[in-house]
Structure 1
Amino acid sequence: MVKWLCVAEKPSIAKSITQILSGGQFTTRDATRPRWIKNYSFSYRMGPGGGHTDFTVTAVAGHLTENDFEDQYRKWYSCDPSQLFDARVLTHVAQNPDHLGIEQNLKNEARKATHLMIWTDCDREGEFIGSVVAEVCRKVKPNIVVKRARFSAIIPAQINQAARNPVDLDQRQAWAVQARMELDLRVGAVFTRVQTLELQNRVNAVAEKVVSYGPCQFPTLGFVVDQYERMQAFVPEPFWYIHVGLVREGDTTSFSWRRGRLFDRDVAQAIFDVVEDDSEATVTRWETKPTQKWKPLPLTTVELQKSGSRLLRMTPKRILEIAETLYQRGILSYPRTETDQFDRDFNFHELIQKHTGDHAWGQFATNLLNNNGFERPRNGKKNDKAHPPIHPTAHVNNLAAEEKSVYDLIVRRFLACCSKNARGLQTTVEIVIAGESFSATGLVVRERNYLDVYPYDRWTGNHLPDFELGERFQPDELALREGTTTQPALLTEADLVSLMDKNGIGTDATIAEHIAKIIEREYVFKQREGGIEYLVPSTLGIGLVKAYDSVGLENSLTKPHLRRLTEQRLVQICEGVKTKNDVVQQTLDEYRDVLFRTRQQMAAFVAGKAAGAAEGQEGAVEEAVEQDEVDEAAGRARTTAMTTTRPAVEDEGAGV
Structure 2
Amino acid sequence: MHLIITEKHDTAKRIAAILAENKPKKERISGVDTYQFDGRTVIGLSGHIVEVDFPKNYNNWQKTDLKDLIYADVLTTPTQANIVTALRKLGKEAEHLTIATDYDREGELIGVEALDIVKKVNPGVSADRVHYSTITPAEIKKAFTDPTKIDFNLAAAGESRQIIDLIWGAVLTRFLSLSSGRLGDKFLSVGRVQSPTLTIIVNREKERDVFVPVPYWELFATLVNGGEFRAQHIKGRFLDKAEAEQIKAKLGDTGIVKSITRGKRSEKPPVPFNTTEFLRAASTIGISAANAMRIAEYLYVNGYISYPRTDNTVYPSSLDTKGIIASFLNTEFNEYARKLLSGELVPTRGKKETTDHPPIHPATPVKRSELKDDEWKIYELVVRRFFATFAQETLWETMAVTVDISGEDFRANGARLIEAGWRWYYSYNVPEDRILPVLKEGQSLNVKEIDLVGKETQPPSRYGQGQLIKIMEKHGLGTKSTRHEIISKLYSRAYVHGNPLQPTKTAYAVIEALEKYANTITKPDMTGKLEQDMDEISEGRITEDYVIKESRDMLGGVFKDLFKNKELISESLRNGLYEDRIVGTCQKCSSDLIIRKSKKGSRFIGCSAYPNCNFILPLPRSGQIVVTDKQCKDHGLYLIRILNKGKRPWDIGCAHCNFNEWQKKLGEEKKATKEKK
State the TM-score bracket (shorter-chain normalisation).
Answer: 0.7 to 0.9
Cα distance between partner residues in 2 of 1:577 and 1:268: 66
For residue 629 of structure 1, what is the aligned residue in structure 2? none
Residue type matched to 2:274 in 1? T
Shift of 1:167: 1.2
Residue type matched to 2:196 in 1? P
Shift of 1:282: 7.3
For residue 79 of structure 1, what is the aligned residue in structure 2? 64
Shift of 1:180: 0.6
Cα distance between partner residues in 2 of 1:433 and 1:138: 86
Which residue among 483, 486, 492 is the counterpart of 1:520? 492
For residue 106 of structure 2, what is the aligned residue in structure 1? 125
For residue 541 of structure 1, what is the aligned residue in structure 2? 507
Describe the SS at the equivalent of 2:533: helix
For residue 435 of structure 2, what is the aligned residue in structure 1? 463
For residue 236 of structure 1, what is the aligned residue in structure 2? 213
CA contact (8 A) 1:550 1:608 kept: no
CA contact (8 A) 1:17 1:159 kept: yes
Structure 1 residues 10-19 or 412-421, which shifts more? 412-421
Shift of 1:163: 0.6
Task: Identify if the C-alpha distance between structure 1 residues 156 and 207 changes in structure 2 by more than 3 Å, giving closer, same or farther.
Answer: closer
Q: Is 1:341 paired with 2:314?
A: yes
For residue 281 of structure 2, what is the aligned residue in structure 1? 307
Which residue among 390, 401, 423 is the counterpart of 2:373? 401
For residue 70 of structure 1, what is the aligned residue in structure 2? 55
Describe how 1:611-626 pairs up with structure 2 within 5 A.
611-614=575-578, 615=581, 616-617=594-595
CA contact (8 A) 2:11 2:301 kept: yes
For residue 73 of structure 2, what is the aligned residue in structure 1? 88
Shift of 1:250: 0.9
Cα distance between partner residues in 1 of 2:64 and 2:464: 41
CA contact (8 A) 1:290 1:424 kept: yes
Cα distance between partner residues in 1 of 2:548 and 2:444: 72
Which residue among 17, 20, 25 is the counterpart of 1:19? 17
Q: Is 1:291 paired with 2:291?
A: no
For residue 192 of structure 1, what is the aligned residue in structure 2? 173
CA contact (8 A) 1:28 1:41 kept: no
Q: Is 1:376 paired with 2:346?
A: yes
For residue 610 of structure 2, what is the aligned residue in structure 1? none
Describe how 1:459-538 pairs up with structure 2 within 5 A.
459-465=431-437, 471=442, 476=447, 481-526=453-498, 533-538=499-504
Q: Structure 1: which 5+ runs fail to align?
A: 43-53, 527-532, 627-656
For residue 29 of structure 1, what is the aligned residue in structure 2? 27
Alignment TM-score, normalising by the size of structure 2:
0.78
Cα distance between partner residues in 2 of 1:387 and 1:207: 42
Cα distance between partner residues in 2 of 1:592 and 1:261: 53
Residue type matched to 2:576 in 1? G
Cα distance between partner residues in 1 of 2:179 and 2:258: 71
Describe the SS at the equivalent of 2:11: helix
For residue 545 of structure 2, what is the aligned residue in structure 1? 581
CA contact (8 A) 2:257 2:401 kept: no
Task: Identify if the C-alpha distance between structure 1 residues 376 and 23 changes in structure 2 by more than 3 Å, giving closer, same or farther.
Answer: farther
CA contact (8 A) 2:261 2:401 kept: yes
Structure 1 residues 15-24 or 575-584, which shifts more? 575-584
Structure 1 residues 241-250 or 335-344, which shifts more? 241-250
For residue 654 of structure 1, what is the aligned residue in structure 2? none
Shift of 1:548: 1.6
CA contact (8 A) 2:219 2:232 kept: no
Task: Identify if the C-alpha distance between structure 1 residues 603 and 467 changes in structure 2 by more than 3 Å, giving closer, same or farther.
Answer: farther
Cα distance between partner residues in 2 of 1:24 and 1:251: 71
Residue type matched to 2:14 in 1? S
Task: Identify if the C-alpha distance between structure 1 residues 275 and 166 changes in structure 2 by more than 3 Å, giving closer, same or farther.
Answer: farther
Shift of 1:120: 0.5
Cα distance between partner residues in 2 of 1:385 and 1:422: 31
CA contact (8 A) 1:274 1:434 kept: no
CA contact (8 A) 2:231 2:410 kept: no
Q: Identity, % of aligned pairs?
A: 28
Q: Is 1:261 paired with 2:246?
A: no
Which residue among 79, 86, 90 is the counterpart of 1:102? 86
For residue 61 of structure 1, what is the aligned residue in structure 2? 46
Cα distance between partner residues in 1 of 2:207 and 2:443: 46
Which residue among 34, 37, 40 is the counterpart of 1:38? 34
Describe the SS at the equivalent of 1:367: helix
Task: Identify if the C-alpha distance between structure 1 residues 209 and 27 changes in structure 2 by more than 3 Å, giving closer, same or farther.
Answer: closer
Describe the SS at the equivalent of 1:299: coil
Residue type matched to 2:514 in 1? Y
Describe how 1:153-232 pairs up with structure 2 within 5 A.
153-200=134-181, 209-232=186-209
Cα distance between partner residues in 2 of 1:428 and 1:70: 72
CA contact (8 A) 2:84 2:117 kept: no
Alignment TM-score, normalising by the size of structure 1:
0.81
CA contact (8 A) 1:306 1:497 kept: yes
Task: Identify if the C-alpha distance between structure 1 residues 10 and 593 changes in structure 2 by more than 3 Å, giving closer, same or farther.
Answer: same
For residue 420 of structure 2, what is the aligned residue in structure 1? 448
Q: Which has the higher contact order (CA 8 A, sep 6+)?
A: 1
Shift of 1:244: 5.2
Query: How many residues are treated as equivalent by the alignment?
Result: 584
Residue type matched to 1:214 in 2? G
Describe the SS at the equivalent of 2:397: strand
CA contact (8 A) 1:93 1:99 kept: no
Residue type matched to 2:92 in 1? N
For residue 6 of structure 2, what is the aligned residue in structure 1? 8
Cα distance between partner residues in 1 of 2:250 and 2:563: 64
Cα distance between partner residues in 2 of 1:618 and 1:612: 16
Shift of 1:501: 2.7
Residue type matched to 1:496 in 2? L
